[in-house]
Amino acid sequence: MNSLIERLRTRRLFSVFVLLATISAVIVAGSFAAHGVRGQENQNDSSDATPLKVVNSPVAPNEFVKIAKLVGPAVVNINTQTFPKQSDNHGRKNFHGHVFQQPQDPNGGGDDQDQQQGQGQDNFQDFFNRFFGGQMPDQGGPDQGGGVQESLGSGFIVDPKGYIITNNHVVEKADKIYVKLSTDPDSQDLGRPARVIGTDKATDLAVIKIDTNTPLPTVKLGNSDTTQVGDWVEAIGSPFALSQTVTAGIISAKNRTIEPGASGQFQHFIQTDAAINPGNSGGPLLNMNGEVIGVNTAIFTQSAGYQGIGFAMPSNTVVSVYNDLVSPSHKVTRGSIGIQFREGLSGAVNRVYGFKNGVLVQEVQPGGPADKAGLKPGDIITAIDGRSIKDGDDLVNEIASRRPGSTARLGYIRDGKPQDTTVTIGDRDKVFAEMTGQQPPAAPDDQGDAGETTLGIVVREASPATQAKIHGSGMVIQSVRTGSFADLQGLAPGLVITRINKQSTATKAEYDGVVKKLKTGDDVVFEVIDPRHPEAGINYIGGTLQ
């Protein structure tokens, strides 16, 4: 028994010894391994590594590089300020970009007025306001304390005297407009003050001007009619305030209409996949000759950013509108014959009424040009001056291009029989106003206060008390339109204009007589007195009327 117990004790001791020996071996092995790693670290010599160098091999500039260098100096950044008004969203910076969500629903059209005021247009306006004009959900409520709303867009110089093309929606609500050239210093300064020369809502185009003592770099306008789907194009602008941003793509389609009904009758866009984002609005779309073939205007997006579909107003339209806006009237005059028609008619209508191409008249404005020419609802206009009319767009473009007062020979079908008549083209604005019962917009010469149109001020004759203070007579400035000629010269409400160009303005009749003779390019000098500080005497303020 004792022998058995002794053998068991010996085996137990042996097992313990083996276990301890194993643990010791592991510890020793780990120690050697650790020593090996530390040794390797100490021997981590990189003296045999070759330092990298930048390869200075010349790369020939491609066409995009050449165009960016050529055109970049003529592309400008436009900053605008809008002063607080009731229901405005204050204290925010916006990036102008015309955006729409839904494709066209061609429910109708007209020679004069927009019949389509349905849900599609409401959605468009909602989306535009939500992302670029109104309050975004994550930015809280309006600043009730008031503030200046700043916005950003793009434009390009087309005349070395400082004339710039941009979008109407970039400047239409602005109280102050500033322009920064690519060569201007990058500072907190908003830029050079600019004024609006003319705008055209129908094409969403505007012309603004900055004063300059030296000729400015300009761009050339190319022929958008000769562009083709698949052509390379380049866009330059200031998306999200990142000025002189260059993107490239191709022409994806032509003759796109993105707003329904008559509101889109004069907006037939070039579609491109060149990246266009909010802030690009008003910038140029260029062909490979460095010529502007479009003005970047709108994007299709569901994210408020680039999704590969942008739209530019064709340069051929831009040139026509620009020339009208810089004319003495500073407005685009379009022709009209006073009819309504419906787009997108079914083939059944065409077959029953017996025509393939043409326009089926729905309404004729009583007393309007078409009515006087004998046209009636149900007539099918098929030709103008012997040229066949394809559809409603073709008719509108042809009539709108005619000057009011000119005549055109219309071919039409009535009760299956071809007939013709001569129509006298009317002014679209006036015809539209008569159709809707509104007052037509007044032409500059028709407005009651010539100074408000020409100079940007409203005046009244000085009261006897004011006359006593200044020891004379004159016109007291009641208001000054922001960005106007008078505003840029520094005139302010309360000042009294005693003479303009050395001619008395003691009465309203004298003032009107002097102002009505002023024209673009004239030097205009005001002699003004501040009735609050009459002891300061006469102050001479003047500039060149643009």
Same domain for 466 and 409?
Answer: no
Give the CA angle between residues 443, 444, 448 to the nearest 5°. Answer: 100
DSSP string, 525-538: EEEEE-TTSGGG--
Judge whether 339 lies within some domain.
Answer: yes
Judge whether 520 lies within some domain.
Answer: yes
Q: Under DSSP, is residue 180 helix (H, G, I), strand (E, B) or coil? A: strand
Q: How far apart are CA 195 and CA 178, in angstroms?
A: 9
Tell me, what DSSP letter sits at residue 132?
I
Domain end (from 316, 332, 348):
332
Domain holding 309, by residue range, is 74-332
3-state secondary structure string, 21-85? HHHHHHHHHHHHHHHHHHHHHHCCCCCCCCCCCCCCCCCCCCHHHHHHHHHHHHEEEEEEEECCC
Tell me, what DSSP letter sits at residue 439?
P
Q: Do 246 and 228 meet the contact criterion of CB atoms below 8 Å apart?
A: no
Q: How far apart are CA 435 and CA 429, in angstroms?
A: 10
Judge whether 230 lies within some domain.
Answer: yes
- Residue (of 190, 236, 202, 246) closest to 78 by Cα position: 190
Domain end (from 379, 403, 436):
436
Same domain for 323 and 453?
Answer: no
Q: Which residues contact 59 (CB under 8 A, 6 or more apart)?
A: none
Residue 357: the pLDDT is 83
Q: How far apart are CA 365 and CA 126, in angstroms?
A: 32
The CATH number of the domain where 126 resides is what?
Answer: 2.40.10.120
Question: What is the H or E stretch that residue 127 is in?
Answer: helix 119-128
Domain end (from 387, 407, 436):
436
The CATH number of the domain where 517 resides is what?
Answer: 2.30.42.10
Same domain for 455 and 478?
Answer: yes
Judge whether 425 lies within some domain.
Answer: yes
- Residue (of 278, 67, 76) closest to 164 by Cα position: 76
- The neighbouring-strand residues paired with 336 are 426
The strand ranges marked E within 301-367 are 310-314, 335-336, 339-341, 359-364
Residue 150: the pLDDT is 75
Judge whether 358 lies within some domain.
Answer: yes
Q: How far apart are CA 479 and CA 267, in angstroms?
A: 36
Same domain for 456 and 365?
Answer: no
Tell me, what DSSP letter sits at residue 167?
E
Label residues 15-26 b or e (16+ Cβ within 10 Å = b): eeeeeeeeeeee
Same domain for 279 and 342?
Answer: no
Residue 173: the pLDDT is 79
Q: Do 80 and 241 meet the contact criterion of CB atoms below 8 Å apart?
A: no
Same domain for 316 and 363?
Answer: no
Pairing of strands 284-286, 291-300: antiparallel
Q: Do 97 and 281 meet the contact criterion of CB atoms below 8 Å apart?
A: yes
Count of structural domains within the chain:
3
Same domain for 308 and 164?
Answer: yes
Same domain for 257 and 125?
Answer: yes
Neighbours of 10 (CB within 10 A): 10
Q: How far apart are CA 155 and CA 165, in angstroms?
A: 6
Neighbours of 103 (CB within 10 A): 12
Q: How far apart are CA 521 and CA 515, in angstroms?
A: 14
State the virtual CA torsion across 8, 11, 16, 21 in degrees, nearest 10.
Answer: 170
Question: What is the H or E stretch that residue 272 is in?
Answer: strand 269-272
Same domain for 244 and 317?
Answer: yes
Judge whether 362 lies within some domain.
Answer: yes
Tell me, what DSSP letter sits at residue 322?
H
Q: How far apart are CA 484 and CA 283, in angstroms?
A: 24
Residue 321: the pLDDT is 94
Same domain for 307 and 187?
Answer: yes
| Structure tokens belonging to residue 76 | 């400008």
Label residues 205-239 b or e (16+ Cβ within 10 Å = b): bbbbbbeeeeebbbbebbebeebeeebebbbbbbb
Judge whether 462 lies within some domain.
Answer: yes
The strand ranges marked E within 403-485 are 407-414, 417-424, 426-427, 457-461, 475-480
Residue 2: the pLDDT is 52
Same domain for 153 and 260?
Answer: yes
> Could you list the active site residues?
169, 204, 281
Q: How far apart are CA 533 and CA 490, in angstroms?
A: 17
pLDDT tens over the chain, length 546 residues:
555 445 545 555 455 444 445 544 544 445 544 455 555 555 788 889 999 999 888 888 888 999 999 999 999 999 988 876 544 444 444 555 555 444 433 334 556 433 333 334 333 333 333 333 333 333 333 333 456 667 789 999 999 999 999 999 999 878 889 999 988 877 667 789 999 999 998 899 999 999 999 999 999 999 999 999 999 999 998 888 788 899 999 999 998 887 766 666 788 899 999 988 888 889 999 999 999 999 999 887 766 667 788 999 999 999 999 999 998 888 888 899 999 887 666 778 777 877 778 888 988 988 899 999 999 998 999 999 999 988 888 898 899 888 889 999 999 999 889 999 999 999 888 887 666 554 455 444 344 466 777 888 888 888 888 888 898 999 999 888 877 888 888 888 889 999 999 999 999 889 988 998 888 888 999 999 998 888 888 889 888 887
Region for residue 422 given its phi and psi (left: phi exceeds 0; alpha: psi -120 to 50; beta: otherwise) = beta
| Structure tokens belonging to residue 167 | 């979008």
Judge whether 92 lies within some domain.
Answer: yes
Same domain for 211 and 355?
Answer: no
Give the torsion sign (CA, 151, 186, 209, 200): negative
